[in-house]
């Protein structure tokens, strides 16, 4: 019985993974074909990996990003990680600084889930991993801490001088539309810390439409968040498609809707078995840098 469930989970994950390209070229997003000499052994050694789904994540480039990222991208750019593919760029003003609002992109939310994290202090990064603990169990003690503002910070056991941080992440697995290179790649939009409220507002917008989550189309762009006592940063603003875009707020093609419905079911099955792994190690590290400087 356990073997059967494992096979079902692997098959569900494989169906989603099959939409991922073999090779994505950084920055340009161009998908390269698998070289002929590799095709004969395609998939060898990946059998046990197929049961896990690790979607790429849409990242907002912050001023606290690594020097390597800041060499290639502008603060406020939306970039697919870890592939480093541009999702939507932000233009520069006359002084060469990033404008307050980036270019829009359109997407369909396929599946939503929350995850609760304990993040180690940035000051301990050389001896401790950034993510200390994580769970998707809604009945966990960690979730209770994340939902209690008085328990967001606790003394770090290894060094009580610093604080660990309990964080709720609101994660949406999505498909980007109107982009030939990216529209078949499941990606994660994650909202936490200073962007948590944006995530809750996005949830409300989905509920108000009353359609199935995978039947909706939204527009998003990077947005400057001015200093509010905690520093400034760029977040992701989600809204209904603008009238001038000509994009419907709903999925209109029945075949496309059926495809998204099937992907939702596959993602749900994988999530129930804890097989969706969101990778936001760099995001939590940057947020910790922001916290240490009074930002985020």
- 61, 75 contact by CB (below 8 A): yes
Does residue 82 fall inside a structural domain? Answer: yes
Residue 98 has φ and ψ, to the nearest 5°, of -60, 140
Res 293: pLDDT: 41
Does residue 237 fall inside a structural domain? Answer: yes
Res 27: pLDDT: 55
92 vs 13, higher pLDDT: 92
Does residue 134 fall inside a structural domain? Answer: no
- For residues 191-206, give the mean pLDDT: 96
Local confidence band at 294 (pLDDT 50, 70, 90 cut-offs): very low
pTM of the model: 0.82
The H-or-E segment that residue 2 falls in is: helix 2-17
Res 14: pLDDT: 53
Which residues lie below 8 Å from residue 143, measured CB to CB, with a gap of 6+? 114, 116, 135, 137, 168
CA distance readout (Å), 199 to 215, 239, 277: 18, 11, 19
Residue 107 has φ and ψ, to the nearest 5°, of -155, 160
- For residues 199-203, give the mean pLDDT: 98
Q: Check whether 19 has a pLDDT greater than 60.
A: no
Res 87: pLDDT: 95
- For residues 68-77, give the mean pLDDT: 95
pLDDT in tens, 36-51: 888 888 778 766 666 7
Does residue 13 fall inside a structural domain? Answer: no
Does residue 135 fall inside a structural domain? Answer: no
pLDDT in tens, 223-273: 999 976 667 899 999 999 999 999 999 999 999 999 999 999 999 999 999
Does residue 218 fall inside a structural domain? Answer: yes
Does residue 176 fall inside a structural domain? Answer: yes
pLDDT in tens, 81-135: 988 999 999 999 999 999 999 999 999 999 999 999 999 998 898 999 999 999 9
Residue span of the structural domain in which 277 resides: 50-119+166-292
Res 114: pLDDT: 98
pLDDT in tens, 138-151: 999 999 999 999 99
Res 2: pLDDT: 46
State how far the Cα of 62 lies from the Cα of 82, in Å rounded to an integer: 15
Does residue 156 fall inside a structural domain? Answer: no
Percentage of the chain with pLDDT > 70? 81
Overall number of domains in the chain? 1
β-pair type (233-239, 131-135): unpaired
- For residues 151-156, give the mean pLDDT: 97
Please provide the average confidence, as pLDDT, over all residues in the chain.
Answer: 86
């Amino acid at each position: 019985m356990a073997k059967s469930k494992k096979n079902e989970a692997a098959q569900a994950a494989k169906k989603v993974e099959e939409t991922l390209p073999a090779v994505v070229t950084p920055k340009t997003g161009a998908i390269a074909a698998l070289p002929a000499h590799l095709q004969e052994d395609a998939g060898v050694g990946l059998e046990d990996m197929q049961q896990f789904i690790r979607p790429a994540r849409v990242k907002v480039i912050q001023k606290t990003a690594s020097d390597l990222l800041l060499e290639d991208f502008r603060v406020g750019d939306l970039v697919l990680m870890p592939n480093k593919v541009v999702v939507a760029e932000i233009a520069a003003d006359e002084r060469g600084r990033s404008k307050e609002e980036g270019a829009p992109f359109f997407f369909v939310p396929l599946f939503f889930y929350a995850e609760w994290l304990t993040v180690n202090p940035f000051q301990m990064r050389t001896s401790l991993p950034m993510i200390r603990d994580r769970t998707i169990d809604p009945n966990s003690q960690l979730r209770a801490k994340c939902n209690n503002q008085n328990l967001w910070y606790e003394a770090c056991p290894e060094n009580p001088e610093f604080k660990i941080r309990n964080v709720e992440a609101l994660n949406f697995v999505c498909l980007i539309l109107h982009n030939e290179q990216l529209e078949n790649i499941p990606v994660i939009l994650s909202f936490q810390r200073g962007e948590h409220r944006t995530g809750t507002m996005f949830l409300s917008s989905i509920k108000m439409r009353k359609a199935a989550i995978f039947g909706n189309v939204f527009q998003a762009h990077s947005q400057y968040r001015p200093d509010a006592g905690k520093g400034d940063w760029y977040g992701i603003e989600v809204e209904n498609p603008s009238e001038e875009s000509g994009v419907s707020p709903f999925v209109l093609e029945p075949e496309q809707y059926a495809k998204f419905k099937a992907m939702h079911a596959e993602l749900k099955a994988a999530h129930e078995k804890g097989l969706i792994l969101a990778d936001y190690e760099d995001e939590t590290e940057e947020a910790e840098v922001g916290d240490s400087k009074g930002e985020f």
